[in-house]
Structure 1
Amino acid sequence: MQATLPATTAKVPCTIVTGFLGAGKTTLVRRILEGGHGRRIAVIVNEFGDVGFDGSFLSGCGIAGCPEEAVVELPNGCLCCTVADDFVPALDRLLAIEPAPDHIVIETSGLALPKPLVSAFNWPQIRSRVTVDGVVAVVDGPAVAEGRFADDPAALAAQRAADETLDHDNPLEEVFEDQILCADLIVLNKTDLMTSAEIEAVSAQIASELPRAVKIVPAANGAIDARVLIGLGAAAENDLAARPSHHDDIGEHDHDDFESAIFPVADVDSPEEIARRVAAAGAVDGVLRIKGFLALPDKPMRLVVQAVGSRVGHHFDRAWKPGEERAGRLVVIGLKGFDRDAVAGALAG
Structure 2
Amino acid sequence: MSSRAQARGVDVGADTRPAVTVLSGFWPAVTFAAARALLAADPSLLLVRHDIREVRDGAVRRVVRTGSGVLEDERVTLVHGCGACTLREDVLPTLVRLAGAHPGRDIVLVLPEALEPEALATACAHCLVDGAPVTEAVRFDSYVTVVDAAGLMAGLTSTDDLSRRGLHAADSDHRAVADVVARQIEYADTVVLWGHSTADTFETARLAVLLDRLAPWAAHFAVVESTVDCTGLADRLRHTGRHRPETPAVLARGIEGYALGVHEPVPDCGVVSTVFRARRPFHPERLHRALGAVTAPALRSRGHLWLASQPDTVVAWEAAGAGLSMGSLGPWLAALPDDRWNDASDLRKLAAAMEWDPYYGDRHTHLVTIGVGLDAADLHRFLTACLLTDAELAAGEEAWRGWPDPFAGVLAPRSDR
- C-alpha contact (below 8 Å) 1:121/1:132 kept by paired residues: no
How far 1:234 moved relative to its partner?
2.0
Residue of structure 1 equivalent to 2:71: 69
- C-alpha contact (below 8 Å) 2:190/2:218 kept by paired residues: no
Residue of structure 2 equivalent to 1:237: 245
Aligned equivalents of 1:219, 1:72: Cα separation in 2: 33
Structure 2 unaligned blocks of 5 or more: 1-13, 160-173, 254-301, 305-314, 317-417
Note the 1:1-150 alignment, pairs <5 A: 10-36=16-42, 40-50=44-54, 59=65, 63-64=67-68, 67-69=69-71, 80-97=84-101, 99-122=102-125, 123=127, 124-145=132-153, 147-150=154-157
**Residues 117 and 205 (structure 1), Cα distance of their counterparts in 2 relative to 1, 3 Å cut:** same
**Residues 79 and 133 (structure 1), Cα distance of their counterparts in 2 relative to 1, 3 Å cut:** farther
Alignment RMSD? 3.9
Q: Which amino acid aligns with 1:120?
A: A
Residue of structure 1 equivalent to 2:179: 174
Residue 10 of structure 1 aligns to a residue whose secondary structure is coil
- C-alpha contact (below 8 Å) 2:99/2:138 kept by paired residues: no
Residue of structure 2 equivalent to 1:228: 236
Higher RCO, 1 vs 2 (CA within 8 Å, ≥6 residues apart): 1
**Residues 209 and 235 (structure 1), Cα distance of their counterparts in 2 relative to 1, 3 Å cut:** closer
Aligned equivalents of 1:190, 1:54: Cα separation in 2: 29
- C-alpha contact (below 8 Å) 2:197/2:204 kept by paired residues: no
How far 1:239 moved relative to its partner?
2.5
TM-score (norm 1): 0.52
Residue 21 of structure 2 aligns to a residue whose secondary structure is strand
Residue 238 of structure 1 aligns to a residue whose secondary structure is coil
Q: Which amino acid aligns with 1:230?
A: R
**Residues 203 and 9 (structure 1), Cα distance of their counterparts in 2 relative to 1, 3 Å cut:** closer
Aligned equivalents of 1:9, 1:200: Cα separation in 2: 38
- C-alpha contact (below 8 Å) 2:61/2:73 kept by paired residues: no
**Residues 101 and 73 (structure 1), Cα distance of their counterparts in 2 relative to 1, 3 Å cut:** farther
Residue of structure 2 equivalent to 1:218: 223
Q: Which amino acid aligns with 1:133?
A: D
Residue 111 of structure 1 aligns to a residue whose secondary structure is coil
- Count of aligned positions: 218
Residue 23 of structure 2 aligns to a residue whose secondary structure is strand
Aligned equivalents of 1:101, 1:79: Cα separation in 2: 29
Structure 1 unaligned blocks of 5 or more: 1-7, 153-168, 251-349
Aligned equivalents of 2:178, 2:213: Cα separation in 1: 15
- C-alpha contact (below 8 Å) 2:61/2:74 kept by paired residues: no
Partner deviation per Cα, 1:249-300 (whole Å, 9 max, x = no partner): 99xxxxxxxxxxxxxxxxxxxxxxxxxxxxxxxxxxxxxxxxxxxxxxxxxx
Aligned equivalents of 2:251, 2:34: Cα separation in 1: 23
Percent of aligned pairs with the same amino acid: 19
- C-alpha contact (below 8 Å) 2:99/2:105 kept by paired residues: no
Q: Which amino acid aligns with 1:214?
A: A
Partner deviation per Cα, 1:12-71 (whole Å, 9 max, x = no partner): 2101100003451112111111101x7x31122022314999967x74x6x25xx53277
Aligned equivalents of 1:42, 1:25: Cα separation in 2: 16
- Structure number with higher helix proportion: 2
- C-alpha contact (below 8 Å) 2:30/2:148 kept by paired residues: yes
How far 1:130 moved relative to its partner?
1.4
Aligned equivalents of 2:226, 2:76: Cα separation in 1: 24
The farther-off stretch of 127-136 and 240-249 is 240-249
Aligned equivalents of 1:53, 1:89: Cα separation in 2: 14
**Residues 41 and 199 (structure 1), Cα distance of their counterparts in 2 relative to 1, 3 Å cut:** same
- C-alpha contact (below 8 Å) 2:35/2:108 kept by paired residues: yes
**Residues 43 and 17 (structure 1), Cα distance of their counterparts in 2 relative to 1, 3 Å cut:** same
**Residues 74 and 25 (structure 1), Cα distance of their counterparts in 2 relative to 1, 3 Å cut:** farther
Residue 96 of structure 1 aligns to a residue whose secondary structure is helix
How far 1:135 moved relative to its partner?
0.8
Q: Which amino acid aligns with 1:128?
A: E
Note the 1:270-309 alignment, pairs <5 A: none
Q: Which amino acid aligns with 1:150?
A: T
Residue 212 of structure 1 aligns to a residue whose secondary structure is coil
- C-alpha contact (below 8 Å) 1:188/1:216 kept by paired residues: yes
